[in-house]
Amino acid sequence: MKRAGSKAHIFLGAPDISRILLDSGTTVANQWYRILEKGENSNLPFFAGFPFRAPKDSSNQITLVPGDSIQPIDEDRYCKTTASMSSEQGSIDVGDDCDPGAEILDGIIKTSGSFAGLFRFNDATDDFDDVTQSIINRFYDVLEDDGNGIYELIPRTDDPVFMLINLNSDAKVGQIEIWAYIPINISSMGNSFGNSDAQNKDISWTKGEGKAVFYKVPKAA
């Protein structure tokens, strides 16, 4: 079986320090998390830097212990027009006169890519949707004016973005969903506002700090 690129759905999540869980509490069913720290006798499934999804059964959640720290990752859909991803590993020349031209891999994986999409606006307010504003805010300060003398500055940020790509969005309940999870830095944004074009944004990204993984889990109802 093969799938069209349209079956791969991209979700972006920005970090929110106000929602970090420390030392106590339990996970929420089906919520994605990033492990920041892992305490002694922790119930968390992986190590710091890895993502995980909480169990689908609300009665079977993970309880945090002292030293645990996890950060929720929301699945805000990015409606793409095109997307690409590239991973490569460097090599080291170890050739000598006994083995001319020999190379070994250096073990350093570099991952980067791009995705494009349209400017999307809220149907009710005509404001940007959350994902559009989050991307713009990586390059521009955003000034908000309510028209009645209340002003707010949202400073430009270099905070990383967590990208989740569901490669088989058409999987049925109980079948295995396959996700790519990559913390990314959005390194460039190009826009087009031609009269006969849709307003769009072309995004380039590189891998940020943390683990990049493929994650397999049965699809929940």
Share of the chain above pLDDT 70, in %: 100
pLDDT value of residue 18: 87
Averaged pLDDT, 147-151: 95
pLDDT band at 160 (very low <50, low <70, confident <90, very high): confident
Question: Closest Cα partner for 203 from 156, 155, 139, 151?
Answer: 139
Count Cα atoms within 13 angstroms, Cβ side, for 66.
Answer: 0
pLDDT value of residue 169: 94
Contacts (Cβ under 8 Å, ≥6 apart) of 147: none
pLDDT at 220 exceeding the cut of 90: no
Domains of the chain listed by start with CATH number: 5-13+76-218 (2.30.110)
CA angle 74, 172, 166 (to 5 degrees): 35
**pLDDT tens digits, 47-75:** 999 999 999 988 899 999 999 999 999 88
pLDDT at 164 exceeding the cut of 90: yes
Contacts (Cβ under 8 Å, ≥6 apart) of 37: 48, 67, 68, 69
Q: Classify residue 207 as exposed, middle or buried by CB count within 10 Å of its CB (0-12, 13-18, 19+).
A: buried
pLDDT value of residue 113: 96
Averaged pLDDT, 155-166: 93
Averaged pLDDT, 176-199: 93
pLDDT band at 16 (very low <50, low <70, confident <90, very high): confident
pLDDT value of residue 130: 87
pLDDT band at 10 (very low <50, low <70, confident <90, very high): very high
pLDDT at 152 exceeding the cut of 80: yes
Averaged pLDDT, 167-190: 94
pLDDT at 221 exceeding the cut of 80: no
pLDDT value of residue 17: 84
